[in-house]
Amino acid sequence: MAAEPDAGFGLYVHWPFCRSKCPYCDFNSRPAGAIDQPRWAAALLAELDYFADRTPGRRPTSLFFGGGTPSLLDPEIVSAIVTRVRARWDCAPDWEVSLESNPDSADAGRFQAYRDGGVTRLSLGLQALDDTALRWLGRPHDVAEGRAALELARTVFPRLSFDLIHSRPGQSLAAWRDELALALTFAPDHLSLYQLTIEDGTVFGARGVEPPDDDTGRALLDLTRAMTAAVGLPAYEVSNHARPGAECRHNLTYWRGGDWVGIGPGAHGRLGVAAIAQNRDPDTWLAAVETIGHGTETEETLSPESLAAERVMMGLRLAAGIDIGALAAGCGLAVEQVIDRRGLARLIEAGLVESDGDRLRATPDGWPLLDSVLAMLLV
Ligand code: SF4
């Protein structure tokens, strides 16, 4: 079940704790109480070993510490995980080691130690460059602290990205223009610019927070794309912008249909046709790893059709789109078993998808409507 040839092979480590729970967040994260970090380190390393035994001969192109807030992990543990990965797999010489960090000063104080431990790329959760918005988003840092962390990170890590959230209720185009313009003065190589979505099960969901209407949301997206493209940071994915060559290699593996191993509570992985999910609950995961060496809750064999649909769904998030012929063949299917040609013709006519031979791309009009595009495209 071959993916794109340059899809890579990723390793993901999930750290499920944060200082507090942000009101918009539906990730598998919870406020950290007293955490026995050595115990957690032993469990993460044990699960890493379990997956190393299952993937002999694979060459990791990336390792990603996500969460939660993995900058709450002691730097020695990050270093131990990087060291163990290098001992268990033959990593690509230019592999990428990313860590997500909050920009508060406590975490920033550990940047050098993370770098010394092997982290090559930092992803900083700034989320806003406006103190009122940061308070509303429940973030513990302010703009000054965020900017200080950014400046420091720039001197420490070879590669750096930061996140901002737009489409906040009441946010005007002019306000977002100013905020994004300020962000672009920091000369980033990579930016993740997310539209605020209100999810069930979050504090914002319970409060009935309303995102901007469709027209305003679309105008904010168009402005974002125009401003980033103008400074050489085009969207290479729905929410991600980079200078050519500075794309997040780990996330490219997901979008290009590659394989990856997921370690830690709630992590997901894909190994060929195997869709693997670890227990979401940290205590359940920890107990399972300590008993049987891994915390896998489910392992499902994907049908060729499901795998192909997943790859179309992920691949159309990329500006480069997908090679539908190669994608179908990689799943052992004919193109007609993956996409509906009449649906495709209608999408092209509506200007939501464009095709160039076998290569299909969602257009700027199609990206905000990706769910509907997929519903019409997939058989
Ligand atoms: S810091 Fe990130 S993962 Fe943690 S609660 Fe906030 S948004 Fe969620």
Structural tokens at position 72: 């709450």
Residues 70 and 77: their CA atoms lie apart, in Å, by 10
Q: What is the pLDDT of residue 202?
A: 96
User: Ligand 1: which of 19, 22, 196, 197 to mutate, judged by most atoms within 8 Å of the beta carbon?
Assistant: 22
Residues 68 and 222: their CA atoms lie apart, in Å, by 30
Q: What is the pLDDT of residue 106?
A: 75
Q: What is the pLDDT of residue 122?
A: 97
Ligand 1: residues within 6 Å at CB? 18, 21-22, 25, 27, 29, 67-69, 102, 125
Structural tokens at position 327: 């994608």
Q: What is the pLDDT of residue 33?
A: 83
Q: For residue range 90-115, list pLDDT tens digits in order.
A: 999 999 999 999 998 777 889 999 99
277 pLDDT band, cuts 50/70/90, is very high
Q: What is the pLDDT of residue 175?
A: 95
Residues 79 and 97: their CA atoms lie apart, in Å, by 11
Q: Which atom of ligand 1 is nearest to the CA of 68?
A: 3
Q: What is the largest CA-CA distance in the chain?
A: 58
Structural tokens at position 1: 């079940």
What's the rounded mean pLDDT across residues 116-136? 97
For ligand 1, the distance from its centroid to the CA atom of residue 369, given in whole angstroms, is: 26
Q: Which residues pair with 99 in a beta bridge?
A: 65, 122
Higher pLDDT, 213 or 193: 193
Q: What is the pLDDT of residue 104?
A: 86
For ligand 1, the distance from its centroid to the CA atom of residue 40, given in whole angstroms, is: 19
Is residue 3 over pLDDT 80? no
For ligand 1, the distance from its centroid to the CA atom of residue 24, given in whole angstroms, is: 8
What percent of the chain stands above pLDDT 70?
A: 99
220 pLDDT band, cuts 50/70/90, is very high
Going by alpha carbons, the residue nearest to atom 5 of ligand 1 is 21
Q: Which atom of ligand 1 is nearest to the CA of 139?
A: 6
Q: What is the 3-state secondary structure (H, E, C) of the chain?
A: CCCCCCCCEEEEEEECEECCCCCCCCCCCEECCCCCHHHHHHHHHHHHHHHHHHCCCCCCCEEEEEECCHHHCCHHHHHHHHHHHHHHCCCCCCCEEEEEECCCHHHHCCHHHHHHCCCCEEEEEEECCCHHHHHHCCCCCCHHHHHHHHHHHHHHCCEEEEEEEECCCCCCHHHHHHHHHHHHCCCCCEEEEEECCCCCCCHHHHHCCCCCCHHHHHHHHHHHHHHHHHCCCCEEECCEEECCCCCCHHHHHHHCCCEEEEECCCCEEEECCEEEEECCCHHHHHHHHHHHCCCEEEEEECCHHHHHHHHHHHHCCECCCEEHHHHHHHCCCCHHHCECHHHHHHHHHCCCEEEECCEEEECCCCHHHHHHHHHHHEC
For ligand 1, the distance from its centroid to the CA atom of residue 21, given in whole angstroms, is: 6
Is residue 190 over pLDDT 80? yes
**Residue reference for tokens 């040839």:** 5
Is residue 290 over pLDDT 90? yes
81 pLDDT band, cuts 50/70/90, is very high
Q: What is the pLDDT of residue 373?
A: 97
Is residue 211 over pLDDT 90? no
Q: Which atom of ligand 1 is nearest to the CA of 102?
A: 1
Is residue 132 over pLDDT 90? yes
Q: Other CB atoms closer than 10 Å to residue 335's CB: what's the count?
A: 17
Please report, as a single letter, which amino acid is at residue 93.
P
Is residue 32 over pLDDT 90? no
For ligand 1, the distance from its centroid to the CA atom of residue 300, given in whole angstroms, is: 28
What's the rounded mean pLDDT across residues 276-303? 98
Going by alpha carbons, the residue nearest to atom 8 of ligand 1 is 25
Is residue 298 over pLDDT 90? yes
- Domains in the chain, ordered, with CATH? 9-255 (3.20.20.70), 304-377 (1.10.10.10)
Q: For residue range 223-254, list pLDDT tens digits in order.
A: 999 999 999 999 999 999 999 999 999 999 99
56 Cβ contact partners less than 8 Å away, ≥ 6 residues apart: none
Q: What is the mean pLDDT of the chain?
A: 95
Task: Tell me how far apart the terminal alpha carbons of the chain are, to the nearest angstrom.
Answer: 19
25 Cβ contact partners less than 8 Å away, ≥ 6 residues apart: 202
Q: Which atom of ligand 1 is nearest to the CA of 127?
A: 7
